[in-house]
Amino acid sequence: MALSDTKPLNQPYRFDQKKFQRWVFLLVWPLANVLLVATILIDLGLASAETLLFVAIYFWLLFGLSFLGLQILDRYFPKIMSTEVFWRQLFVHVVVIVGIAAIFSGLFSRPVALKLSQTLIGPRIFFILEIIIYLIVFRIFTQQERSFTTALALRETELNMLRSQSNPHFLFNTLNLINTQISNDPDNAKEIVYDLADLLRKNINMAQQSFTTLAEEMKLVNLYLTLQEKRFKDRLSFNIKLVSGTNLLQIPALLLQPVIENTVKYAVAPYAPKAHILVETSLVNGRLVIVVRDSGPAFDETQIVEGNGMRILRKTLVLHYEDDYDIQLKSTASGGVFTLSLPARAVE
């Protein structure tokens, strides 16, 4: 049975407000205005080293001090700098930037070439237009960040819900196991309880993580299969093979638990013959491939009904990877083969 495919969701876009403001005020705006004025002076044949130096110093000081002023307001008067009301935000920026520009006009003695016109209406209107464009772009980025943050929160909530469903599902299965053993083999039931305690401890710790290493995940698989070995005694054996280089690869925590549970439930529990489960990993073309083989009887692939465990597995994969995973469950002459393919990603 092939179930969809998946690619890890990229980490949500993070809008760094401070970094954005620094780039705009300390590089983009000064450079854009210097280039504009320099172009006009060159076109008028008035460009000189003196005028270009003056223009560069003027604009870098203007926007540098404006940035400093806005940062001070943001720190000590955050309500004034609130981004919720666009017109208030525009008013504050205009007052700060145009106000500092007006103060500069009286403090600096401009070169002769820059005294062709004494009117400041044109430059101030231009500054206001720049501020409007800046604030519009700023708000677009802010809205994008909020949208991505909301999407992340919803994804984490859904993953937590899936884990909360998976844990009782696993626990009930194991309690049913103990219940059958208490009457048949009390001593074995006691050992299973101890193993279950270790397994639950590990399970709870991993449930608090979004991702874990493949090695840690396999430790949980080993604990679970060890417990099942005691349940079925001479009827079950297992082997886990991790190819070198896959141990520290990252996968969603508790991802393989429903797979192994289903393998025991459908390929081991209903049948008397001895069964063997092999879990192995490999790296194929930059992808992590996990294969679970069992020696159970053949089955009709077209009649497979997705149960709760597989539903949890598939939804977990969809939330972590969009369309860059592949699941297959096949029946072969030697037993069932479950194959999971994921992008190979090292733990960050």
Looking at residues 104-120, what average pLDDT do you find?
A: 61
Q: How confident is the model at residue 215, as a pLDDT?
A: 93
Bridging pattern class, strands 236-241 and 275-284 = parallel
When pLDDT is cut at 50, 70 and 90, the band that residue 125 belongs to is confident
Q: Mean of the pLDDT values across residues 152-178? A: 60
195 Cα distance to chain centroid: 34
pLDDT digits 0-9 by tens, 46-100: 778 888 888 888 889 888 999 999 889 888 888 887 777 788 888 888 888 888 8
Q: How high is the mean pLDDT of the chain?
A: 79
Provide the percentage of residues in the chain whose pLDDT is more than 90: 18
**DSSP letters spanning 115-140:** -S----HHHHHHHHHHHHHHHHHHHH
pLDDT higher than 50, residue 1: no
- The confidence band for 110, taking pLDDT boundaries of 50, 70 and 90, is low
**What φ, ψ does residue 329 adopt, rounded to 5°?**
-130, 115
For residue 183, is pLDDT > 80? no
Is pTM, for the whole model, over 0.85?
Answer: no
How does pLDDT run across 290-310, given as a tens digit for each residue?
A: 999 999 888 888 777 777 777
**Do 336 and 299 form a contact (C-beta atoms < 8 A)?**
yes
Q: How far is Cα 324 from Cα 338, in angstroms, rounded to an integer?
A: 17
pLDDT value of residue 81: 79
Coil vs helix vs strand at 251: strand
pLDDT at 189: 75
Both tokens assigned to 69: 């002023």
Angle (nearest 5°) at CA 254 between 293 and 343:
70
> In this structure, are residues 166 and 257 in contact, taking their beta carbons and an 8 Å threshold?
yes
pLDDT at residue 333 is higher than 80: yes
Say what the alpha-carbon torsion angle 212, 213, 218, 223 is, to the nearest 10 degrees: -50
**What is the model's pLDDT at position 10?**
42
Distance in angstroms (rounded) separating the CA atoms of residues 324 and 9: 9
Q: What is the pLDDT of residue 2?
A: 33
| Share above pLDDT 70 across residues of the chain, in percent, rounded to a whole number | 80
Of the ranges 161-175, 249-263, 276-290, which one carries the lowest mean pLDDT score?
161-175
Count CA atoms closer than 13 A to 205's CA, side-chain side.
Answer: 11
Per-residue model confidence (pLDDT) at position 221: 92
Structural domains of the chain ordered from first start: 17-147 (no CATH), 152-343 (3.30.565.10)
